[in-house]
Amino acid sequence: MTPSKESIVDATVPSAGRIYDYLLGGHHNFEVDRQAAQMLLNMSPFSAKLVRLQRWCLQDLAHELTVVRGFDTIIDFASGLPTQDHLHFVVPKGTKVIYSDYDPVVVEYAREILGNTPDVYFFEADARQPEELLGRPEVVEILGNKRNVALVYWGIAMFLSDEDLSRASQALYDWAGTESCWAFNAQGAGISKDHPGTLTVLEMYRNMGTPLYVRERQEYEGLLKPWHPDSNGFISLLDWHGFEQDELSKEDLAVFGPTGAGYGVYLLK
């Protein structure tokens, strides 16, 4: 039996997915999430801009993967809520979008939001074990024999340990067809690790039971092998979306660094 929302929600504990939703201006969050998000904003006002920037970049890659690179199927891990600015609003009609998230509350809300939207699916799945989503009977039925697909890990890498990321990367590599492309957000690379704002944010997430892993671009490169970047290499989020550095305050830049708190990269086999 599917658990009801009441039975799976612990409204006393903030959830990373719902905090994210609040920062994006969404309504799928609770008081406890709003309080945590507000604390985050007080400590780090750029957080709201950062999640918005990450969503814009997500729209950019949705266009790139489908219209430019020709993929008709996108499999997205750790999707969060599929609100108005998510992948399926950008891709051409008929593109199959398979979303997923490991938070059952996010999955339930997501299904409410999507209703019967054609060609768009949402499953509960853990990005640390991508093979579980890929092997799910419903997903196997949607994909048929298709293995040349677009894969997406956006806004999730900081939630994954080195071991998890490297394992997931190998599992995707083993599963994917040779023409596949993996759009990956090297989240957090380039931020100022010792800035008091960064340290407070890291502590807050640690206390929520979802520690964040901060790593440099070179560390990402190692963990993502055997995938390799396409000829554009790692692109700072600011460049990915064409965001101007002068749109950030001095304080924003001091915390999040000149990349805009990470890179995006299209990985190939």
124 binds ligand SAM (CB under 6 A): no
Q: Please identify, using beta-carbon distances, which residue of 55 and 96 lies nearer to ligand SAM.
A: 55
Task: Report residue 241 as tokens.
Answer: 């979306």
Residue nearest to ligand SAM (CB): 17
Tell which positions 99-118 bind ligand SAM, by CB under 6 A. Answer: 101-103, 106
User: What is the spatial distance between Cα 59 and Cα 66, in angstroms, rounded to a whole number?
Assistant: 11
- Site membership for ligand SAM, residue 180 (CB under 6 A): no
Give dist(CA 116, CA 125) in Å, integer: 20
Distances 124 to 54, 64, 99, 109, 140 between C-alpha atoms, Å: 22, 26, 9, 12, 15
**CB 57 → ligand SAM: shortest distance, Å?**
8
264 within 8 A of 186, measured Cβ to Cβ:
yes
Report the alpha-carbon distance of residue 59 to residue 18 in Å, rounded.
Answer: 20
Query: At its nearest, how many Å lie between ligand SAM and the CB of residue 208?
Result: 11
- Which one, 224 or 231, has the nearer CB to ligand SAM? 224
Of the pair 106, 176, the CB lying nearest ligand SAM is at 106
262/192 Cα distance (integer angstroms): 11
Q: Specify whether the CB–CB gap between 101 and 17 falls below 8 A.
A: yes
Quote the least distance from Cβ 219 to ligand SAM, whole Å: 19
Establish if 16 lies at the interface with ligand SAM (CB under 6 A).
yes
Residue written as token pair 């950019």:
60
Residue with tokens 């997406």: 152
* Contacts (CB under 6 A) with ligand SAM, residues 44-83: 54-55, 58, 77-80
Which residues would be at the binding site for ligand SAM (CB under 6 A)?
16-17, 20, 54-55, 58, 77-80, 101-103, 106, 126-128, 154-156, 159
